[in-house]
Chains A and B, each alone.
Chain A
Amino acid sequence: MNPSEYDLSIIGSGPAGIAAAITARKYGLRVLVLDEQSKAGGQIFRNIEGMEKNFNSELRKLGNEYQSGLSLVKEFKNCGADYFNDRSVWQIDADLGIHHVSASSNKVSSSINSYAKTKHLLIAVGAMERPMPFKGWTLPGVMACTAVDALYKSSGLVPDEEVILAGCGPLLLLVACRLLDAGVKITALLDTNRRLALLKALPYLPKALRSIGYLTKGMAMLHKIRSAGIQIYSGINGMEALGNSKFEKVRFKLGEHTLEKSSGMLLLHNGVVPNLQITRLLGCEHRWYDLQRYWEPVHDEWGNTSIDRISIAGDCGRISGASISEFNGYVSALDTVYKIGAISRNERNRLSLPYRKELSKHKAVRQLTMALINKPNYSLLQSSLKIDDLIDPRMNTVSSILKHVHKGTIETAYSILNGEYEVIEAEIIDTSELINKELKNANLPDEIRIGAILRGKDIIIPRSNFVFQKDDTVVFLAKSDQIQIVENMFRISAI
């Protein structure tokens, strides 16, 4: 057997894998790209070439980010990498020999097995929905929200019966709006997080999602959904899907009451997690990332894992979204190009600098944003596993203080880092002493760090000469024991 030998082999042709391939090819590396899907683009750019060819008008509806993926995919197709779709990698030898078969035939008696040797391996297999099992979730008619998204992108299909959306995270609202636009009736929206946590995170969704047409302000989405007569239930738990041979209704608890809602389909979303199959099977070290509550492979800024010559890029290492995944791909590939010897270490650092700058510049906000979007509420698991009491010490800090101060249910604070810090959103009102002050003169205590300012539709990362204005919304990080200071300086906004 004369196996093909590559400098870099990439598993996954989403934004991270594609970007890496393009970069590696620029420096003349022999590159192999394998994807078990039938088309390039990953999940976010699912069927992008098909869309362009057949449904150009729909393409525009999906927004700028999706469309920008098109040029990326085209560049990838022309970059000279050996690219194979419908390939399932089923074994990687210790010396990085890659065994792959057609994605539709990985049986015990091996069928036609392909084998490739590679010097370096990049895993860019992306993310998947966080599975949150509960009673009845296997009923036909219960599907993941992203499944409905995939059906729309790949086949232009939308549900033609009523749907209920359930879980946690603002992506529920995103999918709700898209379905509404397509004329789908939504019976109800069940949020396992408490009131308004959903809403507050909306302004901070990453650009990629915000640019999908109608995602401008959280309030606008909420308004749209409320005007459509959709009932929103917040803080539900004990969810159960019921039906004879398909989904018919959902039963859930809201406080003391048990409610039931009938509908045609139940769509679930509980955040997104890295797809760890390959890194786990390879024996890479993993760590628990508490901010978003999932396991991720241990990796450095170049994507190197704990195993020599194996790196990761994109959402399979840390959920960050498409554009960040793309940058990860560039950075990781440049590191490989350096390791192969085509560029020097300095050149690697210089060439990757713009991407690494981007990556670190938005890191704080991004991590914040992702935490707000992606942190699950485990109430469903709690009820299905019959856990009597889920004690989250983090819930007992700021929220209770604020409740006391403002005499209402306020969901504007998130405890992070084991309760030591709070992420707080506050509004500059006309009596605030910060108005017209520059950040450098604001005399903010050291324990309070500003993450971002939302002004109108813009997210601003403030510099020292940034001037606060009325109606600015400030997202900041404060040590939990500094909350009194926060209260004095800002009026904590409430809806």
Chain B
Amino acid sequence: MFRKLYKNSRTITIYFEGSSIQVEPGQTVAAALLSKGHLCFRNSPISGQPRAPYCMMGVCYECMLEIDGNSSQQACMIQVSEGMDIKIQI
């Protein structure tokens, strides 16, 4: 999907759907997940179609995930933090 052009040596641990992944700090949840090959973030609640980040700037609302217990969080607007718990929203 995406690869890193330049790397940061430091990483932090976040959890996606229960599994831990190592990501670089200082980026958004959406970017972090895309960098790990996770593309489809949710299914549309009405049509069931698979949806993924589109604008990466907070205007399209396609990248919504449940983050730390809060539903419908725009993943492209939230920075990753140590121990963050990210789930796909049903």
Chain A residues engaging chain B, CB cutoff 8 angstroms: 36-38, 43, 47, 50, 54-55, 57-58, 86, 103-105, 128-129, 131, 138-144, 146-148, 150-152, 154-161, 182, 245-246, 275
If A104-B74, A246-B39 touch, whether A147 touches B51 (CB-CB below 8 Å) is: no
Which residues of A sit under 8 angstroms from B73, Cβ to Cβ? 104
B50 closest partner in A (C-beta) = A245
With A58-B5, A140-B39 in contact, do A103 and B77 touch (Cβ < 8 Å)? yes
A-B contact pairs, 18 of them (CB 8 A): A38-B77, A58-B5, A103-B74, A103-B77, A104-B73, A104-B77, A129-B55, A131-B60, A140-B50, A146-B57, A151-B56, A154-B28, A155-B28, A157-B5, A157-B31, A160-B1, A161-B1, A246-B40
Shortest C-beta distance, A161 to chain B (Å), equals 7
B27 interfacial contact with A, CB 8 Å: yes
Q: Are A147 and B56 in contact (CB under 8 A)?
A: yes
Given contact pairs A140-B50, A143-B53, A151 touches B31 in the complex (Cβ within 8 A): yes
Write the nearest CB–CB distance from A358 to chain B, whole angstroms.
Answer: 28
Give Cα A36–Cα B28 distance, bound, in whole angstroms: 13
User: Chain B residue with minimal CB distance to A38?
Assistant: B79
**Beta-carbon contact of B50 and A158 below 8 Å:** no
Residue among B3, B34, B40 with the highest chain A CB neighbour number at 10 A: B3
B78 touching A157, Cβ below 8 Å: no
A147 x B55 contact (CB < 8 A): yes
Interface size bucket, B side? 35 or more
| A128 B54 Cβ-Cβ under 8 A | no
Q: In the complex the two chains form, is B5's CB within 8 Å of A156's CB? A: yes
Residues of A close to B86: CB separation below 8 A: none
Cα–Cα, bound, A57→B5 (Å): 11
Which chain B residues (35-65) contact chain A, with CB distance < 8 Å? 35, 39-40, 44, 49-60, 62
Q: With the chains together, A246 CA to B73 CA distance in Å? A: 22
Cα(A140)–Cα(B38), bound, Å: 10
- How far, in angstroms, from A156 to B5 measured CA to CA in the complex? 5
Give the complex CA separation of A142 and B34 in angstroms. 13
Contact with A along B1-14 (1 / 0, CB 8 A): 11111111000000
